[in-house]
Structure formats: C-alpha cells, structure tokens
Amino acid sequence: MKKIVFVGAGSVVFTQGLLADLAAFPELRGMRIALHDIDPERLQVAEAVARRITAGSATVTAHLDRREALDGADFVINMVQVGGYDATVTDFEIPARYGLRQTIADTIGAGGVFRALRTFPLLDALAADIGAVCPDALLLNYTNPMAMNVWYLSGKVRNVVGLCHSVYWTMRGLAELVEVPYEEISYVAAGVNHQAWVLRFERDGENLYPRLDSAADRDPELRRRVRIDMYRRLGHYPTETSEHSAEYVPWLMHHDSELDRLRIPVGEYLRVSEDNLAEYKRTRDLVRQGGELDLAGTDEYAPQIIHSIVTGTPRVVYGNVVNDGLISNLPQGCVVEVPCVVDATGVRPTAIGALPPQCAALNRTYASVNELTVRAALEGDPRHVRHALMIDPNTAASLTLDDIWRMADDLTRAHGDLLPEALRA
C-alpha cells in the first residue's frame, strides 16, 4: 500500500483532520503513514493521535529525521510553519511600528514576503531529500504563502500541487447565503491563491449571483463584509475570507473609516495563532490523559487526491499550479489556482482562458509580489525583497519608500538565520 509522509506533523490539529479524512476511505486501508517533525514533543503527540485515528487501518511511524521519513514515499504532505508563533509575532509587530496594518500576513505583504523567505531554505532541503529518496512522489503543499512556495518549488521537484480549502469553503458559504443546498450548485473559480474569483455560480443553469445581490440588498450587515463589497464593485466574488481579502488591496487597511465600515480585524492571525497553540495543548493533554479526541474529517483536498490516484476515482479539486497557459491574461510561469481533474493518471489542471480584466489586474499585482520574492531568493538579491514590498498594494498604500526599506531592514535583522544567507543584508 502507498506511503504518505506528513512533513510538519507537529501541526497536530491539522494532521488529525487529514488523518481522519484518510481513514474514512476503506480503499486506503493498509496505508503507511510516516510522520516527521523537528519538535520531539509535538511529534510524539502526533504519533499518538495518528495511532488512535487509524486504529489498525494503517502502519504509523514517527521520525525526527526527515529523509528517513521520506524514503520510499508516494505522497508527501508539507505543512511546516518555519519560525512558528514567535516569527508570526515578529511579522506583525515590526510592520505595526511603521503604521502598516495586517490581518493574516501569510500570503503577500510584509508578513507574506518574510514568511516565504524563511520557508525557502526548508523547501530547498525538502526538495533535495525528495530528489534523493522519493523523486516520483507527489508533493502536496499546504504551507503558506502558497503561491510563492509552489513557484519556488516548481523548479526543484518533479511533481508539486499547492492545496488550500478557500474555494471549497467559499462555495459552502455562498450556498448558505443564497439558501441553495451546496450539493445542488455548480461553480468555476480561478485566479491566484486567496484571491481567486467565482466565475460561474449556478444551479441547474440558473445564475445564482442575482440571489446573492438580493441577499445583500436585504441585509445591511452583509454589506459590511469586505468580500461582498469587493463583489459589488468588481462583479465577481473573491474566494478567501474578508480578513484575508482586505490586505491584498490598497484601498482599505490604511483608512480608519474603512476598518470600521467593513469590520476589518487588524492583527487577526495573532489571535488565531494563540487559539491554535491552546488547541494543541488541549489535544496534547487529552492524549496524555487518554481522553476522547475529535475524530471528525475536514473535507481537505489532499486525502481526496490520494484516494483518486490510488483508486482511479475521478474528482475535481482546486489546485495551485504553474501557469502554463491556464489563465491567458496572467503571467506565464506564475502560480495560479484553477480546477484540476484527478484520477489514476494524476492531477491535471484545467485551462480557464482569460479572467475578467479587473480581476486579472489585481491578480497581476499579487503575482508581481510573488515573482520579486522568489527572484530575491533564487538570485540572492536582497534588493528584490524591498522591491516586492514596494509593489505590494497594502504596503505601498500605507508607507513611504524610506519606511518600506527601513521596515525590511528591521524584519531582516529580526528573522536573522531563518532567512537565506544571501538575503540577510
């Protein structure tokens, strides 16, 4: 049976959900699960959780050594957060000193750029290990910033797809708003990760967008959501939460009135991170005490992809892949999020054609931040780190050029050895 490796398995709650999804497929009984983390305590907890969830349906091994875990892998799930909570705090606190507001800070912006830069050395090592011991493995990446990481990995491993649940949960939410069962809707979305667009939203050929219009017209509080506001102005609904979406555009975060009008939660990811730490500790204590765990599945794409490839069951999922003509009005070679058909032959992205021009225009700015960040690492040029922040919509709208460069200097010093050596200046 196939071997599935979890890299960063110490993200115990996320690991727990993925394992529950995998264990729900009887066809995957007998799978081999290898867990890797550099934190011994977290790895021990993850192993205990995995053994309880799989309950004899899989063999589970735990490894502090990554290459040992990867040996012979068929699928590799990457969910590492380099630097953990402390690095996240740095990504918020230093920009805040300059007046730069962020909500999630994991995709573009100051937080996204520096999260990418401290993740790239890990990706180099991961790619080298995969090339040495499991070169044909499919790498399923969950680590943010998704688009930057997949772009960086694309020249280093044979098979990589970035996975995010934003499209799925967006469509679940939209179905609720228009009061149509999710199982009855059909949809197509495309763009870039955390800023894709719902291009088609239908039931039995009926366009459901007018129902969304009516819901927003009836409910003034609904109109105070960033995503509804963007949809009403741009004509297409964005596929990430309002707190995410707010920091990818230049119009909102710098204005107190907009923060209030659209209820934008500055610093939200710090609160989420604190909750995640508390949830990990709760799970750890439950494992030690022999308590009951939440074994509910999460409907994540990675288990579905593995099941489809192993069994030949066709599915459509949303994946982040290199733009090889998939979206014609976004740059060739950038990473885009599109529907992908999965079956025994693997993951096949779907060509979308051109996005609506207003949507593509926003995505091109996002892609430019990605490109400059990736180039900074590949070329060892710290100036491109500053260039990426100069282009970033929220940063450019909020700070002077001098403050952008000073902020980059401060973040570079603070993250220190976590960054690629050539970029520590």
CA-CA distance, 75 to 279, in Å (whole number)?
Answer: 27
**pLDDT tens profile 286-336:** 989 988 887 778 899 999 999 999 999 999 999 999 999 999 999 999 999
At residue 141, the pLDDT reads 98
CA-CA distance, 248 to 108, in Å (whole number)?
Answer: 7
Which residue reads 């290990």 in tokens?
129
By annotation, the residues acting in catalysis are 165
194 is in an annotated binding site: yes
Residue 249, C-beta contacts closer than 8 angstroms, at least 6 positions apart: 230, 362, 393, 394
CA-CA distance, 247 to 386, in Å (whole number)?
Answer: 18
Tell me the pairing of strands 58-63 and 31-36.
Answer: parallel
Mean pLDDT of the chain: 97
Residues of the chain with pLDDT under 50: none
At residue 89, the pLDDT reads 98
**Domain 85-103+163-266+300-425 class, CATH top level:** alpha beta
At residue 287, the pLDDT reads 87
Tell me the pairing of strands 160-163 and 186-192.
Answer: unpaired
What is the b/e burial string over 234-271, where b = at least 16 CB atoms within 10 angstroms of the residue's CB?
Answer: bebbbbbbbbbbbbbbeebbbeeeebeebebeebbbbe
Q: By C-alpha distance, which of 79, 77, 74, 78 is closest to 137?
A: 74
Q: State how far the alpha carbon of 283 is from the alpha carbons of 5, 12, 39, 57, 398, in Å.
A: 21, 8, 16, 22, 40
134 is in an annotated binding site: no
Q: Which amino acid is residue 294, in one-letter code?
A: D
8 Å CB contact between 129 and 70 = yes
63 is in an annotated binding site: no
CA-CA distance, 367 to 384, in Å (whole number)?
Answer: 14
- Other CB atoms closer than 10 Å to residue 284's CB: what's the count? 18
